[in-house]
Structure 1
């Protein structure tokens, strides 16, 4: 055990890390519980020169292969501090502007650069697709809401609208992949804000409020 050779690459270590992160990469938030998105154990302070922290829980993070490879041997102590998702609120250092993750300070800037968190071939494209899907869902729900306000106040229509909003909000909940981006996009969207207001007026919002609070907990707004 004292040699540090691959001792962290065990299910007894990986499974608790995945549970802790809701099966997400600590940096980019993609799902890493499947064989196609394989989890790697990331050492926030690299194994060299920090060999004494190889098995320290406070130094271990679940990461996707791309983020782990991008960060590589970067040493936050020697090379400049970056965000440690286990003990730092990203909101202090980062925010989303449209599809792009931006920084508030040097720590945020180094984090984005070191982990390549605006990678065009994966993250930017994924954000674009997620945003389009969310916009489509919101517009479909807006159409249903207009029908409801125009006089179709049947229980079936009411439940259809509430279920749609429930699903949209859950997709941006803190435990979901890419939650920070989705929550930020959703909570500032004009269509979402309109729907929220109308649902409140109609007395249909109360059971959805806890889902919005979950999204707000990971929002990276300016």
Structure 2
């Protein structure tokens, strides 16, 4: 989970439209929020990711649902209130269900709160710093063994492979293979790993945390600094750090 920066509401949710749609929901129970104009704007400000688990939800197989942070019952007056809507994958939305922060305890709305204040990663596990983080993990089942643990394991394995390959290239570079091609291969590889942990990428918080704390990455960073090749990568690391959920 990363901090989201909520955009202005779509023009389809002007004051009059909100009143009309809300009245329709109260009268009929229709899913008045299930509109492409609303979904499009939600996906845009979340970079096509679930607000909770960061799964890509812009594809047909990963269907996006409009999630109501405060549940439709008893908050029927907020069913199309922009500040109450979040993009969610089907599984997180189903897990959270009718969870009411006012009744069951405060959880994280990533469009309002920095998750780093309440959550951190340790290996493949999302852990909590306080009661807010604990409730958040439970509400959306953010350590699901059949889904998120598997994804994190695969991502970590791929990253480890890239790091080991790049370390071998760096060792060859330090041993005398200082060709332009070898130099660029190393820089591009580290840049690619950092980009994969950028805020717009799926599972950015996990990837950023795993990468930035990895001993091989830290060694590579140190060697790149010594050889004067780090400067062009610093801005990418800063982007990754902004979403890192470090202990």
Residue 155 of structure 2 corresponds to 130
Q: Does 1:210 align with 2:235?
A: yes
CA distance in 1, matches of 2:190, 2:125: 25
Residue 91 of structure 1 corresponds to 116
Instruction: Report the RMSD for the aligned CA atoms in angstroms.
Output: 0.6
Please report how far the alpha carbon of residue 3 of structure 1 lies from its aligned counterpart in structure 2 after TM superposition.
Answer: 2.3
CA distance in 1, matches of 2:64, 2:147: 17
Q: Does 1:31 align with 2:52?
A: no
Residue 24 of structure 2 corresponds to 3
Residue 139 of structure 1 corresponds to 164
Q: TM-score, normalised by structure 1?
A: 0.99
CA distance in 1, matches of 2:241, 2:196: 12
Q: Does 1:21 align with 2:42?
A: no
CA distance in 2, matches of 1:102, 1:66: 19
Structure 2 gaps, min length 5: 1-20
CA distance in 2, matches of 1:129, 1:121: 13
Identify the match of residue 211 of structure 2 among 167, 180, 186: 186
Q: TM-score, normalised by structure 2?
A: 0.89
Q: Does 1:75 align with 2:68?
A: no
Residue 80 of structure 2 corresponds to 55
Please report how far the alpha carbon of residue 79 of structure 1 lies from its aligned counterpart in structure 2 after TM superposition.
Answer: 1.2
Residue 177 of structure 1 corresponds to 202
4+ residue runs over 3 A deviation: none
Residue 223 of structure 2 corresponds to 198
Structure 1 gaps, min length 5: none
CA distance in 2, matches of 1:3, 1:85: 28
**Secondary structure of residue in 1 paired with 2:86:** strand
What is the aligned length? 222
CA distance in 2, matches of 1:206, 1:34: 36
